[in-house]
């Protein structure tokens, strides 16, 4: 084994589930062995009778490039000097039933452009990173008390060329990244970029976990994209799919004729709703494979974090099962997937060991406790969780005619009952604007003006509600059509006044958020928020305060979810003095009716809303307004005027 440069210890760790750099051994690697330059191939195929490498060099047939079984647990390896960089290849596997399979390399670093399905022998990377300043600054910041404003992107449909072809990673670096920076987002979240055969799976059904999709260019091209993001102080998060994989014949399914990557029990393996297969989280080799993959994206591509897809589907054995499907239970009689729970904890512990400042975000839609708590206190070990409850409640509420909202007032207030139980991200993601769900704008009731006003109100409430933020691309344009996953965004909408103004609104709202520490410093602490009035359901108005670390850093927020202007509306305030309106979504510049107020609001020393004083306000229709108490010196100047 020494002549192939493979460590016995590394293979031992692989079979123990603790080889977290397994991609450095497995797959296709260019090496110089015994003075000869060539490619070494290593693959795990425990049920195989024979494995060889096939490609253009042997007309995709034959056994003249054989691999040799190098241990009893099914690892095969070989070294060939006649294969060159850029050569397409697959593994020809003879199963225990003497069937022949052609499989892409599970650890391939490069793949052919779809619809071709072969792996490609990689050329060594020549990319020189220049993001040391970003990484140094990232290590100094705590994500919990910093602004985190995510722009979720599907690279294939954000923008396309006039002839319909895709922009490359390098072209997107020159167009998408400056746009995101200008709009005020702090991070880009990319729908999965691991190699996948079908465009309309959006990357969620993967065949090449270590292969950045060739649709947009080479691995070094993607490195350039990430590097450019970091030069613009934009973090990069990638959707990561450890829960299931697609059934395409060249992929992981029955890799060597038997269940290698999936559960042997078909009831646990099959995801009938998605037509996919579940990884066997209890297998040590699968743990090495998947956890290595998470480490790989962060180490090799400087990814700042992973949004882990479909965590609820991993946690529960019977999640999303169809009627009539046989239910299964764990050894204790419960429906929890004990292997998946242990895997997720091991995943997060390992990622934070290698990348202490990583973002590990769970898309988890149930009430599972302690998702974003450390494993040593019984948590799953993520540091953020998507707040699907807030998203569902808010969209249900906003789709109602305002006349009915007072009977459903709790939908906009209930989230504060649990807002600090996890480190939440408030998502308005791609899942909410596809499959007939309609765009965010088109969910809003009323005439066109009311629809736009309510969209601004929704975004404003999201921005001022505790939790980090995420918006899917196109939401900033006020698209009427839901996301079209084969076409680019409706950029022509910016030629129309209301769409142009909502685009401006999103930009100014984003920058307002970045400037106001009260909106992010205590996102995950109860003392950073308190209600002024959560119970004015008759008028569908809520008012609350957000607080930063500085005791004087407080913002008063008022939201009106009806199209009625309220005059002389009293709002209790925590401190006496002079309050001034600093943001108003009803501004004419944003497409609103212009019910704004530039005049100072002086407190009246009378008990109201549980406070010792109040201010009297004009509340604009279907709008959010934000007020700040002026410092003493500015108050005196306002009184003199």
Indicate which residues carry an active-site annotation.
309, 363
From CA 571, how far away is CA 609, in angstroms rounded? 7
Q: Measured on CA atoms in the order 160, 163, 165, 167, is the torsion positive or negative?
A: negative
DSSP string, 256-274: TSS-SSB-SSHHHHEETTT
Burial of 545 (0-12, 13-18, 19+ CB in 10 A): buried
What are the phi and psi torsion angles at 558 (to 5°)?
A: -130, 130
Whole-number Å distance between alpha carbons of 168 and 183: 22
**The token pair that represents 478 in the structure block:** 């006020």
Question: What is the number of other CB atoms lying within 10 angstroms of the CB of residue 160?
Answer: 15
Q: How many residues does the chain have?
A: 641
Over its C-alpha atoms, the chain yields an Rg (Å, rounded) of 27
Joined together, the tokens standing for residue 475 give: 């939401």
- Taking the alpha carbons at both ends of the chain, their separation in whole angstroms is 86
Q: Looking at the DSSP assignment, which residues form a beta bridge with residue 608?
A: 611
Residue the block writes with tokens 């520490």: 517
Instruction: Please list the alpha-helical segments (H only) found in 465-592.
Output: 497-515
Alpha-carbon separation of residue 278 from 161, 266, 337, 430, 513 (angstroms): 37, 9, 11, 23, 40
Angle, nearest 10°, between helix axes 169-183 and 497-515? Answer: 70
Extended strands (E) in 389-455: 424-428
Find, among 632, 578, 65, 14, the residue nearest to 292 by Cα: 14
Helix (H, G, I), strand (E, B), or coil: what is residue 582?
strand
In 3D, which of 27, 20, 22 has the Cα closest to residue 76? Answer: 27
Q: Which residue in 437, 440, 482, 481 sits closest to 461, CA to CA?
A: 440
* Residue 530 parent element (H or E): strand 529-536
């Amino acid at each position: 084994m020494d002549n192939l440069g493979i460590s016995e210890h590394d293979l031992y760790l692989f079979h123990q589930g603790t080889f977290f750099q397994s991609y450095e051994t497995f797959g296709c690697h260019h090496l110089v062995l015994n003075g000869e330059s060539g490619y070494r191939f290593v693959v795990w195929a425990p049920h195989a009778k024979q494995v060889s490498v096939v490609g253009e060099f042997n007309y995709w047939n034959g056994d003249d490039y054989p691999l040799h079984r190098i241990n009893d647990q099914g690892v095969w390896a070989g070294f060939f000097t006649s294969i060159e960089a850029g050569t397409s290849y697959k593994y020809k596997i003879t199963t225990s039933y003497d069937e022949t399979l052609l499989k892409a390399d599970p650890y391939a670093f490069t793949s052919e452009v779809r619809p071709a399905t072969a792996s490609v022998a990689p050329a060594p990377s020549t990319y020189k990173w220049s993001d040391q300043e970003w990484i140094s600054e990232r290590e100094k910041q705590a994500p919990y008390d910093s602004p985190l404003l995510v722009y979720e992107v599907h690279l294939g449909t954000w923008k396309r060329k006039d002839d319909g072809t895709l922009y490359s990673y390098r072209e997107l670096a020159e167009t998408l990244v400056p746009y995101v920076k200008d709009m005020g987002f702090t991070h880009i979240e990319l729908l999965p970029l691991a190699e996948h055969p079908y465009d309309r799976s959006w990357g969620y059904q993967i065949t090449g976990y270590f292969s950045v999709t060739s649709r947009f260019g080479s691995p070094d091209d993607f490195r350039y994209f990430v590097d450019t993001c970091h030069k613009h102080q934009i973090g990069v998060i990638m959707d990561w799919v450890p829960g299931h994989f697609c059934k395409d014949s060249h992929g992981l399914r029955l890799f060597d004729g038997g269940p290698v990557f999936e559960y042997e029990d078909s009831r646990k393996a099959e995801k009938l709703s998605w037509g996919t297969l579940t990884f066997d989280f209890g297998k040590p080799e699968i743990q090495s494979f998947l956890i290595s993959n998470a480490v790989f994206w962060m180490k090799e591509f400087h990814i700042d974090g992973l949004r882990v897809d479909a965590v609820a589907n991993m946690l529960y054995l019977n999640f999303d099962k169809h009627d009539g499907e046989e239910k299964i239970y764990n050894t204790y009689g419960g429906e929890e997937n004990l292997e998946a729970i242990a895997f997720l904890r091991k995943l997060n512990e390992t990622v934070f060991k290698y990348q202490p400042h990583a973002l590990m975000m769970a898309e988890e839609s149930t009430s599972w406790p302690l998702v974003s708590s450390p494993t040593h206190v019984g948590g799953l070990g993520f540091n953020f969780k998507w707040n699907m409850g807030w998203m569902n409640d808010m969209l249900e509420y906003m789709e109602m005619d305002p006349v009915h909202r007072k009977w459903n007032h709790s939908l906009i207030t209930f989230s504060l009952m649990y807002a600090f139980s996890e480190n939440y991200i408030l998502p308005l993601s791609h899942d909410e604007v596809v499959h007939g769900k309609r765009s965010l704008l088109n969910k809003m009731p009323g005439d066109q003006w009311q629809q736009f006003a309510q969209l601004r109100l929704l975004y404003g409430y999201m921005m001022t509600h505790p939790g980090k933020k995420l918006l899917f691309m196109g939401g900033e344009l006020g698209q009427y059509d839901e996301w079209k996953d084969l076409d680019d965004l409706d950029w022509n909408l910016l030629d129309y006044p209301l769409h142009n103004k909502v685009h401006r609104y999103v930009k100014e709202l984003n920058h307002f958020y970045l400037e106001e520490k009260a909106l992010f410093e205590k996102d995950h602490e109860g003392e950073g928020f308190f209600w002024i009035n959560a119970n004015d359901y008759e008028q569908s108005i809520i008012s609350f305060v957000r607080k930063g670390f500085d005791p004087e850093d407080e913002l008063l927020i008022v939201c009106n979810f009806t199209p009625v202007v309220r005059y002389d509306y009293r709002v209790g305030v925590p401190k006496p003095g002079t309050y001034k309106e600093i943001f108003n979504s009803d501004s004419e510049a944003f497409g609103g009716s212009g019910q704004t107020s530039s005049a100072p609001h002086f407190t009246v020393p009378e008990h109201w809303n549980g406070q010792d004083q109040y201010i009297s306000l004009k509340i604009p229709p279907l709008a959010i307004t934000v007020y700040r108490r002026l410092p003493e010196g500015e108050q005196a100047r306002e009184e003199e005027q």
